[in-house]
Amino acid sequence: MKKKIDYMKILAFVFCVILALVWIAPLTQSLSTSLKSEKEIKMSGFSYFPAEITFDSYKDLFSTKSASTPILKWFWNSLVTSSLFTVLVLIISSTSAFAYARMKFKGRDLLFSILMATMVFPSVINLIPTYKIVAGMHLLNTKWALVLPGVSGAFNIFLIKQFMMGIPKELDEAAKIDGASWFQIYLRIIVPLCAPVLIVVGMFAFTGSWNDFLWPTLVMSNVDKMTITPGMQILKGTYDVYPSHAMAGGIVSVIPTFVLFLFAQKYFIKGMQLQSAVKG
Amino acid sequence: MKKKVLSILLATAMTLSLTACGGSASTDGGAKPASTETPAPANTASGDKTIEFWSVFTGGDGDAMQQIVDEYNATNPEYPVVHRMMAQEDLYTNLPLAVNAGTDVPDVAINHVDRIPLNSENNIYLALDDYIAANGNITADKYNKAAWDAGAVNGKRYGIPLDVHGYLTYYNKDLVEKYCPNVLDDGVVTFDEIAEFGPTAAADGVYSYALTWARNEFQEWYAQLGGKVTEDGVEPTLNNDIAKKVLLDWKDNIEKGICTQDGDDPTNLFGQGQLIFLPEGTWMIGTLKSMGVNFGTTYAISYDANSPLSWADSHQFVIPRKDIDAAKAEGVMEFIAYFQDHSLPWAEVGQCPATVAITDDAAFQEMPQAFFLQDPSLILISDYKYYGYMVSALDAFVAEVAFGKMDVDEALATYNQQISDNIKNQ
Amino acid sequence: MGKAIKAGAKKKKTEITPYLFIAPQIILFIVFFLVPACMGIYAAFTRWNILSNELPTFVGLDNFKEIFLNTESTYYKFFRAGFKNTVTFVLLSVPFCIVLPLLMALAINKKPWGHKFFQSLFYMPTVLSISTVILIWYYMFNKNLGLINNLFHLKVNWVGAQPYAWFAIVIVTIWWTIGQNLVIYLAALNGVSQDLLEAAEVDGAGPARKFFNIMIPSIRNQLAYTFVLTTVAQFNIYGQPLMLTGGGPNNSTNVLLMVIRDLAFPSYGGNSISGLASAMALVMGSLMIVIALLQYRFIGERE
C-alpha cells in the first residue's frame, strides 16, 4: 500500500518538474537575451547563453540619454498610479462595503443587487463612452484617467462586504453604547479586523492597475506620462531591431509586481481561495 | 455629535478632493513642462510664454529631436519649446480630441504628410500662409520640392516639411560582388536582373531580397507599374490586374526562395550575410552600421530601371486649430525656421532633412541616404485623403497574399471594399 | 420635549450617514460606469465619430442590419470572422485552463518534494502584465532566434501560420493565467474530506475512482465557478493576438475586440466609426451575459 502512494508521489513530482521547466524557460531565456550584446544576437543568431555577459542594455535603458523610452519615468508613473489606485480602491470599497454590511438604510438591498448585477456587464460596451467622458473632463494624459474609471469596481465591495458580515454585530453595539460614531466604528474596529481581506484586495488592485494595458494605451499618449505596461509595447516595437534592450526592459518592468509577489505570495494565493470560497 | 459631523465632512471632503484633484490635474497636464530634458525656461510662470510641441517620435528619433529642441532653447528664444513625444497612433487620436475640445491644444505638432489631406478637411489645422508671409524666412526655395509641395492642400498651406524619410534598398557589397557584380552599374536593381541571379543565390541559401514592410514595398511596385490607388481622390482602385501582378510575382519569388520566407527576420539575415538586398527605411541606417555589415544604399528594387519609384513620407510641422496670438505664432515660425540650418542631428538618425541648406551640406552629402533627395520625381509621397484606411487594409492583406495564406482575388476585392465601406460609414 | 426633538434630529442624522459612506463609490460608479454603459448601448444605434465634436446621429437598427444581414458589407465579413475567431479561442483555451490546473493541483496536493515552490512558480506569471508576457514569448516563438525552434530543431513559423498561431496564443494564455484556477482548486482539494478518501481506500478504490467519485463531486462548486469565470475572461481576448500574431494569418486570429478597436480608434488614420463598433460590442456583451447566466443557471440546477 505504502509503495503505491510513493509511486503516485514520484509521478506527481515528475509532472511538476516537466511543467516547471516550461514555466521557467521563457524567463531564463529572456534574462539570457538581455545579457547579450545586440551585435552578438545580430551576428551569431540563437544561443542559450551569452558568449559574453554585458549589462549594456540595462545601462542604456537607465541612462538619462533616452528621453523617448524613459523607463525610469514610466516606472515611477506606474508606481504613483498604482499606489494611488490601490489607496482609493481600499477607501472607497471599504466605506461602501461597511455601509452595506453593517448599517441599515433605505434602498440598501436594491442598490447592492444593482451593484452585483453590474459585475457580469462586459466592459467592452463601456470602453468607447468612458474614453469620451474622460476626454470630456480633460483628464486625458493625467493619472486620474487611469485611476478613476476602475475605482468603483463592484467586486472589491463584494469581497470586503462578505468579510465584514463575518464580524460579530455585537462589536458595533458595544461601541455605540460607548458613544462611538459610525465613522469611529468603521475606522477603529472594523478596518483593523478586515486587514486580511483589505491586503488581498489591495494587492489585486495594485497588480491589476500595474498590468492594465488596453485602457492606458488609449488615454495616456505622452511618452513621459505613460506607465510601464503600455511602455513595454513601445519597447516591443523596437524588438526586431533591439531584442536585448527589449528583454532588459521587460525584466525591469516585472520587478515590482514580482517582488510584491515574493513577499506576499501567501496572501495572493489566499486571495484567490477567498474568491472561490465566497463564490463556490 | 461632533464626531458625526466630522465623519460627514470627511466623506464629502474625500469626494470633493477627487473632483478637485481631477480638475487641477488637467490644467497641470497642459501647462507644466514635464520633460526633464527641457532646461527650465526663465518665464515658465506664465504658461503662454512656452510653445507646446507634440511629436510622433519615439526611440532614437525622439532623442534626436529632443537634442535639436534643447539646442533651440539654448539660444534663449522669446518662446522656448516644450517637446512632448508620443507614439504616433496616440498623437493622431489625441490631436483631434484636443482641437475639438479647445483645451490643451499644442501650439505646433509634427504630422505625417499623408494625414494632412483628411485632417485639413476635418478642420484640425490652421492655414499657415499668413504666418509664413509674416515671417518671411520660410520660402519654397529653401525646401525640398517634393516635401514642400505635399504640405499644401487646394492651394492652402498646412504643413512645413521637417524631412523626407523613405524606403530604400540596402545591399550587402560582398554578396553583390559574389552574385551580381554588375547589376548596380546603373544604380538600380530590377526584377529582371533578380530573376537571373536569384536562383543561383537561392541554391546557396541566400535570399536576393526581402519582404519587410509589405505595404511600402507594395505601393512602390504598384506605382512603378502605373497603378493608381484612387482615380477620383475618394474611391480606392486597388482591385485590378496591376495589383494582382505585383502580388503574384512576389508570391512566386517567395516560393522560389528568392525572397525571404514568412517568419524570417530580414534585418538579422542581412546581418548574417544571408540576404543581398534589404528594402528598409532610411531610419535603419544607424542599426545597420552598428551591425558592421559592409553595405551600400540605392533606390527601390524596380520593375523599370528608368523609374525606380521609391516610397517616402514626410514629417511636417502643423499648427493645430486654436486661438493663437500673432506674437506666439511668430515664435512658432521662428522655431520651424530654426530647422532650416540646424537639423543635422536629424540626418544623423537616418532622416533626410527637407531643407536645402542641410542637404547641400557636405556632412549630409556623405551620408548613405543623401542620394534619396537628388531626384524628387522618384519619390512617391501619397496625397490620398484616405491613406489611413488604405494602409490598414494593405497591412492586413499584402503580406498574407505574398506568403500564400490568402487568395489574391478575394483579398483585393475584400480589402478594396473595406476601404470603400469605411469611407462611406465614417 | 427637548429630548424628543433631539432624538428625532439624531435619528435623521443616522439616516444620512450610510449614504455618506456609499456616496464616493456611487458617484464614481455613476460617472464611470452607469453613464458610459447607457451611452454604449445608445451608441450602437447611431453613427458616431468620437474624435469629432459632433453628437451621435441616431440611425435605428442600421448598424445591426449592416453586421447581421448585409452580406455584401465588409463589416458583415469582419464581424463574423472576429466573432468566429473569438469563439474558437474560447473553445480551444477553456478546456486547458480547467483541466491542466486541475491536474497540477492534484499533483501538488500529493505534496511532492518542493510542492510549495511549484505552487508559487505556476502562480507567478499571473502577476505579470500582458505586454511583458508577450515580449517574453514573442521571442520564444521567433522562427530563427527562438528557443522552441532551436531546442527541437524545428523551422515552424509559430505566429504566422495555422494551426501554430492558435497553439502559440493558447500556450501563452495558459502560461499567463492558469495560476488563478490552480490555487482555487488547491484550496478546494484541501477541503475534500480525508475520511471519505480513507474509507474509499479501505474499500479498495484506486486513484481514478477516488478522483471521479469523491474529489470531483466535492469540488464541483469551484469547478463550476472557474468554468464561468474563465469563459467570460477568455471572451475578452485582446492582447495576445494583437501583439503576437497581429490578427493573422489570413485574419484567423483577428478577434472581435481587435475589430472593434480598429473601427473606433483607427490606428493609421481615418475617422472613427464608433457606431458600428458599439453595435458589435453590444452583441458581444449580450452574448457574454447570456452565457454567464446559462452557466449559473446550469450550476444552480445541479445544486
Mean pLDDT, residues C223-248: 86
The residue behind cell 481514478 is: C208
pLDDT of residue A66: 56
pLDDT of residue A212: 82
Task: Report which of residues A235 and A215 the model is more confident about.
Answer: A215
pLDDT of residue C6: 47
Residue ranges per structural domain of chain C: 76-302
Average pLDDT, chain C: 86
pLDDT of residue B94: 80
Contact across the interface for C243 and A122, Cβ inside 8 Å: no
Mean pLDDT, residues C123-151: 88
pLDDT of residue A231: 81
B99 and B62 within one domain: yes
Average pLDDT, chain B: 85
How distant, in Å, are the alpha carbons of A95, A175, B1, B2, C12 from that of A179?
20, 6, 10, 11, 17
Q: Number of structural domains, chain B? A: 2
Contact across the interface for B122 and C267, Cβ inside 8 Å: no
List residues bridging with B166 in a β-sheet: B312
How distant, in Å, are the alpha carbons of A265, A266, B370, C108, C182 from that of C117?
11, 12, 59, 10, 14
Contact across the interface for B3 and A237, Cβ inside 8 Å: no
For residue A279, give the C-alpha cell.
Answer: 463564490
Within the 190-209 window of chain C, which residues sit less than 8 Å (CB to CB) from chain B?
A: none
pLDDT over threshold 50, residue B42: no
Mutate to test the interface with A, among C128, C256, C303 (most CBs of A within 10 A): C128
The helix/strand/coil state of B76 is coil
**Taking CA atoms, what residue in B is nearest to C78?**
B418
Cα A276 from Cα C184, distance rounded (Å): 6
The answer to whether the CB of C76 falls within 8 A of the CB of C66 is: yes
Give me the DSSP letters along C205-248: --HHHHIIIIIHHHTHHHHHHHHHHHHHHHHT--HHHHHHTTT-
Contact across the interface for C51 and B418, Cβ inside 8 Å: no
Mean pLDDT, residues C204-230: 84
- The predicted-structure confidence for A97-119, as pLDDT tens digits, reads as follows 999 999 989 889 999 988 887 87
pLDDT over threshold 70, residue A181: yes
Q: Is the dihedral of CA B139, B143, B145, B146 positive or negative?
A: negative
Pick B63's closest partner by Cβ from A67, A224, A225: A67
Cα B58 from Cα A223, distance rounded (Å): 8
State whether residue B26 sits within 8 Å of chain A by CB. yes
Within the 57-116 window of chain A, which residues sit less than 8 Å (CB to CB) from chain B?
A: 64-70, 73, 88, 91, 95
- The predicted-structure confidence for A50-69, as pLDDT tens digits, reads as follows 888 998 888 877 775 556 66
Q: A67-279 maps to which CATH number?
A: 1.10.3720.10
pLDDT over threshold 50, residue A217: yes
DSSP state letter for B54: E
Cα B419 from Cα B414, distance rounded (Å): 9
Q: Is the dihedral of CA B274, B291, B289, A223 positive or negative?
A: positive
Pick B392's closest partner by Cβ from C52, C267, C275: C267
Altogether, the residues listed in chain C come to a count of: 303
pLDDT of residue C216: 86
pLDDT band at B247 (very low <50, low <70, confident <90, very high): very high
List residues bridging with B310 in a β-sheet: B379
The reported pTM is 0.81
Identity at B409, one-letter amino acid code: D
- The predicted-structure confidence for C20-60, as pLDDT tens digits, reads as follows 999 999 999 999 999 999 998 999 999 988 888 788 999 99
pLDDT over threshold 70, residue B19: no
Q: Is there a domain that residue B345 lies in? A: yes
State whether residue B94 sits within 8 Å of chain C by CB. no
Per the structure, the complete domain to which residue B397 belongs is given by 166-312+386-425
Q: Give C212: exposed, middle or buried? Use CB within 10 Å, 0-12, 13-18, 19+.
A: exposed
Cα C175 from Cα C178, distance rounded (Å): 6
Among A140-144, A209-213, A218-222, B301-305, the range with the most confident prediction by mean pLDDT is B301-305
Alpha helices in chain A (DSSP H): 2-34, 38-44, 56-62, 71-102, 108-117, 123-136, 143-151, 154-165, 170-177, 182-184, 191-193, 195-211, 214-219, 228-237, 243-279
Cα B310 from Cα B350, distance rounded (Å): 16
Cα A42 from Cα A40, distance rounded (Å): 6
**Phi then psi for B188, rounded to 5 degrees?**
-130, 135
pLDDT over threshold 90, residue C100: yes
The nearest CA of chain B is from the CA of A8 a distance in Å of 42
pLDDT over threshold 50, residue A227: yes
ipTM of the complex: 0.83
pLDDT band at B31 (very low <50, low <70, confident <90, very high): very low
Cα A269 from Cα B12, distance rounded (Å): 36
pLDDT of residue B336: 96
Residues 6 or more apart whose Cβ sits within 8 Å of residue A119: A154, A155, A158
- The predicted-structure confidence for B317-357, as pLDDT tens digits, reads as follows 999 999 888 999 999 999 999 999 999 999 988 889 999 99
Chain A residues inside the 8 Å CB shell of B29: 140-142, 225
pLDDT of residue B25: 30
Q: Which of B151, B301, B307 has the alpha carbon at shortest distance from B226?
A: B307
**Taking CA atoms, what residue in A is nearest to C54?**
A132
B249 and B343 within one domain: no
Q: Looking at residue B89, which CATH number applies to its domain?
A: 3.40.190.10
pLDDT of residue A265: 76
Q: Where are the beta strands (DSSP E) in B282-411?
A: 295-298, 310-313, 315-318, 352-353, 379-380
Cα B224 from Cα B233, distance rounded (Å): 19
Cα B43 from Cα C170, distance rounded (Å): 56
| DSSP strand pairing (B160-161 vs C46-47) | unpaired
pLDDT over threshold 70, residue B35: no
Q: How far from the centroid of its chain's Cα atoms is residue C170's Cα?
A: 13
The helix/strand/coil state of C270 is coil
pLDDT band at B84 (very low <50, low <70, confident <90, very high): confident
Mean pLDDT, residues B68-77: 94
pLDDT of residue B33: 33
Pick A182's closest partner by Cβ from B7, B36, B101: B7
Altogether, the residues listed in chain A come to a count of: 280
Using a pLDDT cut of 90, give the percent of chain A over it: 28
pLDDT of residue B7: 40
Whether omega for the bond prior to residue B266 falls within 30 degrees of 0, making it cis, is no
Cα B32 from Cα C175, distance rounded (Å): 42
Q: How far from the centroid of its chain's Cα atoms is residue B31's Cα?
A: 28
pLDDT band at A273 (very low <50, low <70, confident <90, very high): low
pLDDT band at A19 (very low <50, low <70, confident <90, very high): very high
pLDDT of residue B261: 93
- The predicted-structure confidence for B119-164, as pLDDT tens digits, reads as follows 999 899 999 999 999 999 999 999 998 899 999 999 999 999 999 9
Alpha helices in C30-73 (DSSP H): 35-43, 62-68
pLDDT of residue B296: 93
Pick C147's closest partner by Cβ from A25, A93, A182: A25
Per mean pLDDT, which range of A55-59, B259-263, C147-151 is the poorest?
A55-59
Q: Which conformational region is residue B76 in: left (phi greater than 0), alpha (psi within -120 to 50 degrees), or beta?
A: left
pLDDT over threshold 60, residue C235: yes
pLDDT of residue B44: 37
Q: Give B181: exposed, middle or buried? Use CB within 10 Å, 0-12, 13-18, 19+.
A: exposed
pLDDT of residue A101: 92
pLDDT of residue B2: 41
Mean pLDDT, residues C95-115: 92
pLDDT of residue A200: 84
The nearest CA of chain C is from the CA of B154 a distance in Å of 19
pLDDT band at C67 (very low <50, low <70, confident <90, very high): very high
The answer to whether the CB of A100 falls within 8 A of the CB of A157 is: yes
Continuous segment of H or E residues that includes residue B53: strand B51-55
For residue B238, give the C-alpha cell.
Answer: 486597388
Contact across the interface for A137 and B22, Cβ inside 8 Å: yes
Question: May I ask the CATH class of domain C76-302?
Answer: mainly alpha
Q: How far apart are the first and last CA of chain B?
A: 60
Mean pLDDT, residues C138-145: 86
Cα angle C175, C178, C182; round to 5: 140
